[in-house]
Amino acid sequence: MLLIRCPWCGMDRPEIEFRHAGAAHITRPGPPDRVSDEEWAAFLYLRDNPKGRVAERWRHVHGCGRFFNAVRDTVTDVFVVTYKAGEPRPPETGPGESQPTEARP
C-alpha cells in the first residue's frame, strides 16, 4: 500500500484514502462551437501512457475530499511530488524517463 502526501492536509496518508482521477493538466477546450471534432476527441480519449513519470489527478476522497495533482513514477510507483490542483507541474519533475530498476525480462 502506497503512502500519498495530500498537499491540502500536509500529511502522508495510506492509499486507501485516495482515488485516482486520471491524467492531470488536461484543459477542457471551449467554447463548444470553436472546438474541432479532433480537438474534442483528443480531450475525451487521448492520453499518454509513459514508462516513467506521469502527472495525474488524485482525490483525497476519504479525507479532506479535495483534488490535487501528483507526479508519480510508473516504474517504481514512487510519488515524486504532490501539489494542489491549479498549480503548474513543478519543472524539475520531468517529463522524462525514470531510471527504472535493471530491466529484468
Partner 1 sequence: MTAFRSPAGGRIDRSKPIRFTFDGRQMHGHAGDTLASALLANGVHLVGRSFKYHRPRGILSAGPEEPNALVTIDRGGGRETPNLRATQVELYEGLVARSQNRLPGLRFDIGGINNAFSRFLGAGFYYKTFMGPQALGGAKLWARLFEPAIRRAAGLGRAPAGPDPDRYANRFAHCEVLVIGGGEAGLAEALRRSEDPACRVILCDEQAEFGGWMLVEAPERADEMVKALSARPNVTMLRRSQAFGAYAQNFVAIAQQLTDPLATTDAEAPCERLWQVRAGEVVLASGAIERPLVFPDNDRPGILLAGAAETYLRRYGVLPGRKIVILTACDTAYGAAFALQDAGAEIVAIAETRAAPGAGDIAARALARGIPVLPGTTILGTTGHLRVSSVRLGRIRPDGEAEPSGGFTADTVLMSGGWTPSIHLFSQTKGKLRWEEGLGAYLPALPAPGQAIRVIGAAAGEMPAGMRSPALGALPVAGSPDRVKAFVDFQNDVTARDLRLATREGFRSIEHVKRYTTTGMATDQGKTSNLNSLGIVAAETGRSVPEIGLTTFRAPYTPVTFGLFAGQARGDLFDPVRRTPMHDWAERNGAVFEDVGTWKRAHYFLPRRPVDATASGHAAMHEAVQAECRKVREAVGLFDASTLGKIEFVGPDAAEFLERAYVNPVKGLAVGRCRYALLLNEAGFIIDDGIIARLAQDRFHVTTTTGGAARVFGMFEDYLQTEWPDLKVWQTSVTEHWAVIAVQGPRSREIIADLVEGIELSDAAFPHMAVREGRITGTPCRLFRVSFTGELGYEINIPAGLALPLWEKLAERAAEFGGGPYGTEAMHVLRAEKGYIIVAQDTDGTMTPEDMGLGWAIGKKKPDFIGKRGLMRPDLTASGRKQLVGLVAEDRSRVLEEGAQIVPDILAPAGSHAIGHVTSAYSSAALGHGIALAVIEDGRNRIGQLLHIPMERETIAVRVVEPVFLDPEGARLHG
Which helix (H) or strand (E) covers residue 13, if one does?
Answer: strand 11-14
Using CB under 5 A as the binding rule, whether residue 60 contacts Zn ion is answered as yes
| Residues 11 to 70 in contact with partner 1, rule: CB under 8 A | 19, 21, 28-33, 35, 37, 40-41, 43-44, 57, 59, 61, 65-67
Could you give the CA distance from residue 91 to residue 67 in angstroms, rounded to a whole number?
20
Q: Which three cell numbers stand for residue 1?
A: 500500500
For residue 31, cis peptide bond before it (omega within 30 degrees of 0) = yes
Using CB under 5 A as the binding rule, whether residue 79 contacts Zn ion is answered as no
Q: End-to-end CA distance of the chain, in Å? A: 25
Burial of 75 (0-12, 13-18, 19+ CB in 10 A): middle
The only residue of 13, 17, 74, 76 in contact with partner 1, by rule CB under 8 A:
76
Binding residues vs Zn ion (CB under 5 A)? 6, 8-9, 60, 63-64
- Binding residues for partner 1, rule: CB under 8 A, are 1-3, 19, 21, 28-33, 35, 37, 40-41, 43-44, 57, 59, 61, 65-67, 73, 76-78, 85-86, 99, 101-102, 104-105
